[in-house]
Amino acid sequence: MNRQAQAAVMFLLGAALLHAGTTGLYLRYVKAGLQPLLLASGVVLIAAAAATAWYERRAAKAAGAAEPATAEAQAHSHPEPRISWLLLLPLLSLILVAPPALGSYSALRAGTALQKPYGYGRLPGANPAPLSVVDYASRAAYDHGRSLHGRPVRVTGFLALDHSGAPYLVRMALNCCAADAQPVKIALTGTLPPVLRPDAWLEVTGTYTPKLTHDPVNNGPIPYLKVTSARPVPTPHDPYDETWNN
């Protein structure tokens, strides 16, 4: 692949990064806080591609007065392998095909990533209190629900059903990118919809219950939430839990 082709690939990669960073597609790959770095990388790649193309254009003009022997040598040079253009396929897939967010299949095959936090803030003043899956699970499992007693809560996540049909409300938590995503799970009891569909997103309202189970994958704690009502909701703009490691 010659320099002009390299410049074209760099330009397309930079354009793909800018496209992902400005449309929200990047949230399928990395956490929201990395958006500025992603956009900056796209700008740098496009600038590098433009500089490479400009340099090659100047070099081509300078070579216009080359001796015939040089031209003959160039005529007998071997062309670059065309297979190198297959490097464009990952770029096209990034632009044209958005992968789905990780769901119940991944969640059930990985142990819960719930960890004991350093402390707990005040519950939101709304009633029911909106909490993330991580926040509710950590308060219920490690604080024994002390901050949850007497307060209805509202939690949103996607459904996962284990081999016995037991339902879990799950959110995948990111440290950096989707490759290191780990599930945090809440077991559900109480008033549940008659039909439970894996990967469907639900907003559930309920209350704390001291019931606790353990993840069969890593023996991590999975607290229960006693559901009083549940309704389906669209997949959120950012399907991963933003409270992780904040």
pLDDT in tens, 5-45: 777 777 878 877 877 777 767 666 777 767 788 788 888 88
Phi, psi of 95 (to 5 degrees): -80, -40
Q: How far apart are CA 88 and CA 222, in angstroms?
A: 44
Q: How far apart are CA 181 and CA 172, in angstroms?
A: 6
The full set of domains in the chain, from first to last, is: 3-96 (no CATH), 104-232 (2.40.50)
Kindly report, residue by residue over 104-144, the tens digit of the pLDDT.
888 999 899 998 888 888 888 889 999 999 999 999 999 98
Q: What pLDDT shows up at residue 222?
A: 96
Nearest residue to 192 via CA among 222, 145, 225, 221: 225
Is the per-residue pLDDT at 246 higher than 50? Answer: no
Distance, CA of 32 to chain centre: 8
The beta-carbon contacts of 215-221 under 8 Å, at least 24 apart in sequence, are 215/111, 215/112, 215/185, 216/162, 217/109, 217/110, 217/111, 217/112, 218/111, 218/112, 219/111, 220/111, 220/112, 220/113, 220/114, 221/112, 221/114, 221/137, 221/141, 221/142
Give the pLDDT band (50/70/90) at residue 61: confident
Q: How far apart are CA 191 and CA 118, in angstroms?
A: 33
Cβ–Cβ < 8 Å for 156, 134: no
User: What number is the average pLDDT over the span 201-227?
Assistant: 95
Give exposure, 113-137, as e/b (b: 16+ Cβ within 10 Å): bbeeeeeeeebeeeebbebbbbbbb
Query: Which structure tokens are listed for 23?
Result: 């449309």
Start-to-end CA distance of the chain, whole Å, equals: 44
> CA triplet 23, 97, 105: central angle to 5 degrees?
100
Proportion of the chain above pLDDT 90, given as a percent: 35
Give the pLDDT band (50/70/90) at residue 60: confident
Query: Which structure tokens are listed for 81?
Result: 């392998």
